[in-house]
Amino acid sequence: MPDLRASGQAGPPPGPPPGAPEGRGWRGGPQSLIEPLFHRPRNEPHFPYVPMIIALLASLVTAWLLAWYFAKPIRSLRAAFDDAAAGRLDTRAGPAMGRRRDELADLGKDFDRMATQLQALVEGQKRLLHDVSHELRSPLARLHAAIGLMRQRPEKAEAMIERIERESGRMDKLIGGLLTLSRLESNGDSMLKESLVLGDLAADVVEDASFEARANGKEVRLHLGCQALIKGRAELLNSAIENVVRNAVRHTAGGTSVEVVVEQSGRETARVLVRDRGPGVPDADLENIFKPFVRSSTDTSVAGHGLGLAIAQRIVLAHGGTIRAFNAPDGGLNVELRFPAVVRAI
């Protein structure tokens, strides 16, 4: 093939290389080989930046709404806990939960129950402190009066000393009862328990109470219907039954008897029923007579501090039992103590 460059003649213009796209305006040269790589038809869509931005903004808004939805009740709960820690126990978290039905709403309800119980406990302690102060003020005032009278009239010193001893004994019983209540409330569930025959406990109490009752023209009768076994502390159970029986002896009318019935109530429950022949208790006071220092409106003439039934209730509850009071149809008050019975193997 002749060499055109050597002869000085111009060769034909270079044509498109083999495989080059047709109809693209081939102009020759290296640039013409690069242009097709970056050439984009006008109808081909660009990279979707706008949809991605819209999706990102929607995600951010959704995340913010979710964070607000969960953070708002948490902030309300935190504020409620701060109020409770500051002593404002009347605060409640439930209203701030709105119509939520999730775990946070359940947590708000649990907080409200806790706050209600704490508020009742604190108010009860305040009432107890007030009642203790009131109950101690009276014997202390009588002690002060007796000491003053003894100084003014030495010839009555013997009588005043007896008065001082009597008032000291009352205060000792009051303080002892308060200590018993405190121990039961703090250690009631952790006490060591042993198997006991409920009928034997009741028999011991009836024997002691009968001696006191006969001195006042009254009787205490025991009706033993079973020999049920229960788990508990003998001295505490004895105290609970004794408090109920002595309360019945104080209120039953002269010439009447207090009935103490021990029987099985079902296979897993044993009960002690104590019935007196007194005036009974108004229905509105039946629940309150188990509170410390609360006395029925019908027993204002009977001596006592109003701690006996309260102690009995704490003891029964500490043994997994129940206690209730109800008026008998033909007069008098019934107090029923129920205990879980030990099921004996057959």
Catalytic residues: 134
Could you give the residue ranges of the DSSP H alpha helices within 220-307?
234-251
Round to whole Å and give the CA distance between 45 and 36.
18
Q: How far apart are CA 24 and CA 39, in angstroms?
A: 10
What CA–CA distances, in Å, run from 284 to 16, 251, 261, 335? Answer: 113, 18, 26, 16
What six digits make up the tokens of 101? Answer: 């039905």
DSSP string, 82-125: HHHHTT-TT--STGGGTT--SHHHHHHHHHHHHHHHHHHHHHHH
H or E, element range at 231: strand 229-232
Q: Give the chain's largest Cα–Cα span.
A: 166
